[in-house]
Structure 1
Amino acid sequence: MQSQRFWGVASGMAAGALWGLVFLAPKVAPEASPMMLTAGRYLAYGLIAALLIAPRWRRVATVLDWKAWRALAWLSLAGNIVYFVFLVVGVHFAGVGASALIVGMVPVVVALWGLKDRDSPPLARVAPPIAIAALAVGLIGWESLSRGGGAGQDGVQTLIGLGCALAALLSWSAFAVGNSRWMGRLPEISPHDWSLLTGVVTGGFALLLAIPAVLTMGVWSSEGWLRFIGVSFTVAVFASIIGNAFWNQASRLLPLTMLGQMIVAETLFAFLYGFLWEGRGPTVVEIIAMILMVVSVVWCVRAHRPAAIAAAEGEH
């Protein structure tokens, strides 16, 4: 059990490290619209996923019934297409800091949602690490906003960006919960194959999205196209293919309340990548917030140890 927890935490942290890259995509390719970035990323994801799963397609597809395919469709929309469109708009209008702050609240939403699971500890055991995670995200977001995370935008645009980041939060929370449930229902499908199936379905949606995206795009330079293609394939491979495989592995090894804490890593790494992009080091407040995030994850791991859960149940 302890080994399972360890590998679940390691997989969740690895997924967060790779997912943090998506916050830089709008900055690296600023000429691309949210629709264009989303279509490019997920067309690349769908193509790569289709090639990787092709040798096993017949065997894997026969395991899925109509309900599973329908679940893959809404998970692909909630966790990929809808989430990424809202996230890109949030980063464009409200900045990386504000967007990462709001999306970073996913652990709180998912952990509270998962408290009704049978293998979850009582609220009193998980409330402190959840509160610490919220405090850490709040500190990082406050520091980023005080630095002018939405600089150059008027009030209306910033408000739109914050609203889109909130929509991204709700969309990804629904995906995290739904994906964990379906991973538990289909143990015969590996986490990697489930990620590839999600990629194939997402690629289909991206193909439809590409039509209006191309029709509404402006004139790009060859350098702009190279940046866009590079960003699309880099994010597709590292965040969508490898990152999702790590996350699905964590989803299978960890209970939902603990899984939510792992999403904190995405916010942490998003800010680290932001520091590198801006060419600066973290401030004192940002360092404190990062330490609080690590403390939150470690505390949550301890709260989910069988001995801790048994002791908590004995107290009631």
Structure 2
Amino acid sequence: MLLGIVAGLITCALWGLTFIAPRAVAPLTAWDLTIARYGVFGLACLLLMADRRFRPVGMAPARLLTGLLLGGAGYVGYFISAAFAVQLAGAAVPPVIIGTMPVFLAIIANIRDRSASWKALTLPLTLIAIGVTIVNAATIGAADVADTPSILRGVLASSAALVIWIAYGLANAAVMRSADAPAGLQWTGLQGIGAAIGSLLLLPLASFDVANTASASEIASFVVWALVMGLAGSWFATWCWVIASRRLPLALAAQLMVAETVFGLAYGFMFEGRFPSPAEAIGVIMQFAGVCSAIAVFSKPAKLVQVSQQS
């Protein structure tokens, strides 16, 4: 259990970089970073497959296809959505919206398992909704009128990233908790190849002209970020998440993703060189309180089950 929690938190810290990487590589674009990041991810996986332990051998065709789709649609789709959300809406809005994912996954689990009453979920959902509204209203209210459409598009992109990540989390957890779950290194490699294939489809959108006019320091910064996001933010983070998905219940693993919001906001504010505004701080605190309240709701049935088993 402890190893799963540590692995989940490491994943959150690395995935939180998604909220600043697209802005750190300017003047190159999110498309460029997506192609480079997942190209590095896929290449690393292919090189590691020289060792048989890393090869996805013995998997059924349906399982192989699932892994490739998770890497392609899940990773590439999520990163593009999150990257454009940050560019359009700034540092605060995307992490807060995407950070509601733990509760949405808990709701889905409750629909399937009925582990908590809907009345008990009223408080956490209300807190989260208010928190998200405060942050978004404060950001839109402080923006110039000309920037408002951009922020609204950023909210839509954040919502798309949220939906993609929920679908990825459910599918990945289902595979890793199945009786014939693949080895973590093999599953990571398969997703890496899928992500690389997905990124290649974006090559027509690469800004080759900008790359030719960018300075040497800007190119160097882009290469560093591509390597960091490809090796640490993709390969290592995926492996850690596979470990967390295998060792933790989906509800608990999902709730750990609150840390991604915390890391993402911290990185974003550091990148912008500022502290959160009072409205942003209040909104984030309310969201965090809502998630903690949801955790409490979903932990009560588990405790009751343990007590009944012990008696």
Q: TM-score, normalised by structure 1?
A: 0.82
- The residue identity in structure 2 corresponding to 1:78 is A
Which aligned pairs between 1:184-223 and structure 2 lie closer than 5 A? 184-185=177-178, 187-214=180-207, 217=210, 219-221=212-214, 222-223=216-217
Q: How does 1:1-316 map to 2 (within 5 A)?
A: 4=1, 6-56=2-52, 60-117=55-112, 121-123=115-117, 148=143, 154-185=147-178, 187-214=180-207, 217=210, 219-221=212-214, 222-282=216-276, 293=288, 296-297=291-292, 300=295, 303-304=298-299, 308-310=303-305
1:48 counterpart letter in structure 2:
A
Q: Would the aligned equivalents of 2:116 and 2:301 in 1 still touch at CA under 8 Å?
A: no
Query: 1:295 and 1:12, CA in 2 relative to 1: closer, same or farther beyond 3 A?
Result: farther
SS at match of 1:61: coil
- Between the aligned partners of 2:56 and 2:157, the Cα distance in structure 1 is 35
Q: In the TM superposition, what is the alpha-carbon distance from 1:311 to its structure 2 partner?
A: 7.4
Give per-residue Cα distances to partners, 1:195-218, cap 9 Å, x unaligned: 222112211222332244255756
Contact 1:49–1:199 at 8 Å: present in 2 too? yes
8 Å contact kept, 2:175–2:181: no
Q: 1:306 to 1:112 in 2, by over 3 A?
A: closer
- Shift of the 310–262 alpha-carbon distance from structure 1 to 2, 3 Å rule, reads same
Deviates more, 1:209-218 or 1:257-266: 209-218
1:18 positional shift: 1.2
* Counterpart residue identity of residue 173, structure 2: S
How many positions carry a matched residue from both structures? Answer: 306
Q: Give secondary structure in 2 for the equivalent of 1:54.
A: coil
Residue 277 of structure 1 aligns to which amino acid in structure 2?
Answer: F
Contact 1:126 1:300 in 2 (8 A): no
**SS of the counterpart of 2:59?**
coil
- The letter of the residue matching 2:37 is R
Q: Give 3-state SS (helix, strand or coil) of 2:177's partner.
A: helix
* Conserved 8 A contact 1:106-1:260: yes
- The alignment partner of 2:115 has SS state of coil
Offset at residue 283 of structure 1 (A): 5.2
Aligned residue for 1:232, secondary structure, equals: helix
After the TM superposition, which of the residue ranges 185-194 and 165-174 deviates more from structure 2?
185-194
Partner amino acid, structure 2, of 1:174: A
Pairwise CA distance, 1:91: 1.1
Alpha-carbon offset, residue 42 of structure 1: 0.5
Greater Cα offset, 176-185 or 190-199: 190-199
Identity %: 26
Q: CA, structure 1 residues 78+159, in 2 after alignment: closer, same or farther (shift >3 Å)?
A: same
Deviations 1:208-240 (A, max 9, x none): 322442557564322222121111111112211
Taking a change above 3 Å as real, the CA distance of residues 245 and 144 of structure 1, as seen in their structure-2 partners, is farther
Q: Summarize the Cα distance change of 1:251–1:152 in structure 2 as closer, same or farther, 3 Å threshold.
A: farther
Distance 1:312 1:134 in 2: 33
What amino acid does structure 1 have at the position aligned with 2:258?
Answer: V
In structure 2, give the amino acid aligned to 1:17: A
> What is the distance in 1 between the residues matched to 2:192 and 2:122?
34
The RMSD of aligned alpha carbons is: 3.2
Task: Give the match's secondary structure for 1:14.
Answer: helix
The Cα of 1:22 is off from its aligned counterpart by 1.1
For the 8 Å contact 1:11–1:247, the answer to whether it is kept is yes
Aligned counterparts of 1:301 and 1:49: Cα–Cα separation in 2: 39
Q: 1:77 to 1:297 in 2, by over 3 A?
A: farther
| Kept in 1: contact 2:123–2:293 (CA 8 A) | no
1:270 shift after superposition = 0.6
- Which has the higher mean CA deviation after the structures are superposed, 283-292 or 11-20? 283-292
Q: Which moved more, 1:173-182 or 1:10-19?
A: 10-19
Paired AA for residue 109 in structure 2: G
Unaligned runs of 5+ in 1: none
- Alpha-carbon separation, structure 2, partners of 1:110 and 1:216: 42
